[in-house]
Amino acid sequence: MTLGTAVADIVDLFYPELCPACNRTIMKFEDRLCMDCLFELPFTDMHNIEDNMIEQRLWGKLDFEAATAMLYFKKGGRVQNALHQLKYHGHLDIGRKLGEMLADELLKCSRFDDVDVVVPVPLHPEKLSSRGYNQCDLIAEGMENKGYMVCLDALSRSLHNPSQTRKGIYKRWENVSGIFSLHNAAELKNKHVLLIDDVITSGATLEACAKALKRIPGIRVSIAAVACAE
Ligand SMILES: [Zn+2]
């Protein structure tokens, strides 16, 4: 045992790494999520299914090739805990881990096999400066670790929209339309873009992002999120 590993072991003893989904201590052989969570997470397995629940939710709202979400999100459940740690407690590595898991799922799936580039849904600059990072960028970084090409700055959010959580559906749609600006358009011409988000709710944000992307000639857009409500 070297001095470095001895020090690391002592640090682990007093400050063990905790699983962001269930709060148990992470063992040395585990990677950012405990084995129990890896087996118990509620995977949707909907990537290969045409007309899946997410696609039905987005029909008529945006023009897309395929859409999916990897996990079901339940109040107080492991997925909500992990995403909460990512968004509000600076647990950045869980974002990358979830991105790697999403990539593993999509790389097995023929409906997503010709994706050229991953584009994350952007955060408003004010939120970005208060949080310090965009959780969707970290998910994209995880996908990059698995070989996907990623363009982090293809879209930016141009207006502040107040918190959407207390608004009705109609207001939510009104709230996000036309707030995304496009960059690097030439690089995305004729490409199949995978637009990624942490959680799909109403789809209003994705619709506005897809509308901005669709101004690029020849572009095709697919959608993937880490989670969706059941
Ligand atoms: Zn766990």
Give residue 168 CA to ligand 1 midpoint distance, Å.
Answer: 34
The pLDDT of residue 167: 52
Give residue 48 CA to ligand 1 midpoint distance, Å.
Answer: 27
The pLDDT of residue 198: 97
Statement: residue 9 has pLDDT above 80 = no
- Mean pLDDT rounded to a whole number for the chain: 88
Quick: pLDDT tens for 136-194. 999 999 999 999 999 999 999 876 555 555 555 544 444 455 688 898 889 999 999 99
The pLDDT of residue 14: 66
List C-alpha distances in Å: 170 to 12, 28, 53, 203: 49, 48, 21, 12
Q: Which of 190, 139, 201 has the alpha carbon at shortest distance from 165? A: 201
Amino acid at 14: F
Quick: pLDDT tens for 81-125. 999 999 999 999 999 999 999 999 999 999 998 999 999 999 988
Give residue 102 CA to ligand 1 midpoint distance, Å.
Answer: 17
Residues surrounding ion ligand 1 at CB below 5 Å: 19, 21-22, 34, 37
List C-alpha distances in Å: 159 to 6, 119, 129, 136: 50, 19, 15, 18
Give residue 100 CA to ligand 1 midpoint distance, Å.
Answer: 17
Give residue 182 CA to ligand 1 midpoint distance, Å.
Answer: 38
Give residue 227 CA to ligand 1 midpoint distance, Å.
Answer: 17
Give residue 4 CA to ligand 1 midpoint distance, Å.
Answer: 27
List C-alpha distances in Å: 54 to 75, 90, 137, 189, 224: 19, 28, 22, 26, 9
Kindly report the number of other CB atoms within 10 A of residue 42's CB atom. 15
The pLDDT of residue 133: 96
Give residue 81 CA to ligand 1 midpoint distance, Å.
Answer: 10
Question: Which residue is it, tokens 């987005």?
Answer: 58
Give residue 163 CA to ligand 1 midpoint distance, Å.
Answer: 30
Give residue 24 CA to ligand 1 midpoint distance, Å.
Answer: 6
Give residue 35 CA to ligand 1 midpoint distance, Å.
Answer: 7
The pLDDT of residue 178: 65
96: Cα within 13 Å, side-chain hemisphere: 11
d(CA 7, CA 5): 5
The pLDDT of residue 160: 55
Statement: residue 227 has pLDDT above 60 = yes
Give residue 25 CA to ligand 1 midpoint distance, Å.
Answer: 8
Statement: residue 1 has pLDDT above 90 = no
Rg (CA), the chain: 18
The pLDDT of residue 124: 84
* Per-residue tokens: 90: 């600076």
Statement: residue 219 has pLDDT above 80 = yes
The pLDDT of residue 202: 85
Q: Which of 183, 191, 195 has the alpha carbon at shortest distance from 157? A: 183
Quick: pLDDT tens for 29-75. 999 999 999 999 999 999 999 999 999 999 999 899 999 999 999 99
Q: Does residue 102 contact residue 224 with C-beta atoms inside 8 Å?
A: yes
Q: How many residues does the chain have?
A: 230
* Per-residue tokens: 88: 């509000």
Give residue 44 CA to ligand 1 midpoint distance, Å.
Answer: 18
pTM, rounded to two decimals:
0.87
